[in-house]
Amino acid sequence: MTLTTRSLRPQTKKVPCQASFAKPKVIILAGPTAVGKTALSLILAGLLSKVEIISADSMQVYRGMDIGTAKASWKERLAVPHHLIDVREINDPYNVVDFFYDCQSRIADILKRNKIPIISGGSGFYLHSLLNGPPSGPPSVPLLRKKLEDECEELGIEHLFKRLKKLDTLYASTISTKDKQKIIRALEIISLTKQPVSAFKPPIPPSYDWRCWFLSRERKGLYERIEKRCDEMIAEGLLDEVTRLKREGILMNKSAMQSIGYRQSLNFLDSTQTLTDFASYKEDLKKCSRHLAKRQFTWFRTEPAYSWLELDTYDMEAVALQIIQDYGPVQ
């Protein structure tokens, strides 16, 4: 059976034309947790043989966060070059602006060597910034950021949003009233610069021919894959990993310690660790992972650049061949 982009894409999706032949092509594979992004990227690498993979996972950048982030194995990384994995220590925070510049640098280098960059990950905010430019403004100041985060915990995100609305009505109108990350970052920028966020212009990203794909599965089957992965992570030693990371300073990294898998593990390690606690830990890990997948679906439905691929309808090789067909001739 011959597949077409039209047959693999929900008919309600409208994807911008990607017909420019002058711009270098870059493949992006996005999708919810456990959908099969890593597996598909490796199949593509095997079929194309000129591929290098860039991780777009906000936690895979940290050394030691291996099991809970489902990193590609060392064997897979030896077979296919991977970038933006293990580039930071756990106590050295990483953010979307770092990702934007690091990813752009890796893309340019890969293309310069006549290789094909494939960006694979589920961090919607990172991928959005890659395509549209990152948030602008000065670097984050940890003490100020912590003060705002503590205030958010005490008074609630609605309180901070009301303050932002008074200080920068224009920017506040462009974001959700519950987007904690953007609200805190906006208040941080205003505090540091005494200027509204709307006064800053983000850097313009280089112009590539982005070939953007969102990998999807039917919800019931995806949730079964997520729950199986959670069980496998625990069996592989997730709690031992988190115990080690706790010694190495994960509690100093707000984003890392709050990420799915690590927050739940830290909570269990701080409990009495009874069988009941362990059962609750497993259920919470699975529930939060399912909720993450749901949020990822919601995020990417608003991203117009992506064609959706249903992995329940076609096997991985058929999908990989469709992506290659869309990419066009490889030099």
Checking if the pLDDT of 2 tops 70, the result is no
Share of the chain above pLDDT 90, in %: 74
The pTM for the full model equals 0.80
Task: Write out the residue limits of the CATH 3.40.50.300 domain(s) in the chain.
Answer: 5-135+208-218+300-327
Q: Tens digit of pLDDT for each residue in 16-69?
A: 344 445 799 999 999 999 999 999 999 999 999 899 999 999 999 999 999 999
Positive or negative: CA dihedral 14, 325, 40, 123? negative
Res 21: pLDDT: 53
Other Cβ atoms less than 10 A from the Cβ of 3: the count is 15
How far apart, in whole angstroms, are the C-alpha atoms of residue 251 and residue 20? 47
What is the fold, at CATH topology level, of the domain defined by 142-199?
Histone, subunit A (1.10.20)
The two beta strands, 25-30 and 116-121, are: parallel
In this structure, which CATH number among 1.10.3720.10, 3.40.250.10, 1.10.287.890, 3.50.30.30 belongs to the domain 221-293?
A: 1.10.287.890
Beta bridge partners of residue 307, listed in sequence order: 213
Share of the chain above pLDDT 70, in %: 92
- Residue range 5-135+208-218+300-327 in CATH 3.40.50.300: yes
The two beta strands, 306-310 and 209-216, are: parallel
Task: Write out the residue limits of the CATH 1.10.287.890 domain(s) in the chain.
Answer: 221-293
The helix/strand/coil state of 123 is coil
Taking residues 81-95, report their average pLDDT: 94
Q: Tens digit of pLDDT for each residue in 191-208?
A: 999 999 888 876 677 789
The label of the residue with tokens 């982009």 reads: 5
Residues in the chain: 331
Res 17: pLDDT: 40
The helix/strand/coil state of 226 is helix
Q: Give the pLDDT band of residue 146 (cuts 50, 70, 90).
A: confident
Task: Write out the residue limits of the CATH 1.10.20.140 domain(s) in the chain.
Answer: 142-199
Taking residues 295-322, report their average pLDDT: 94
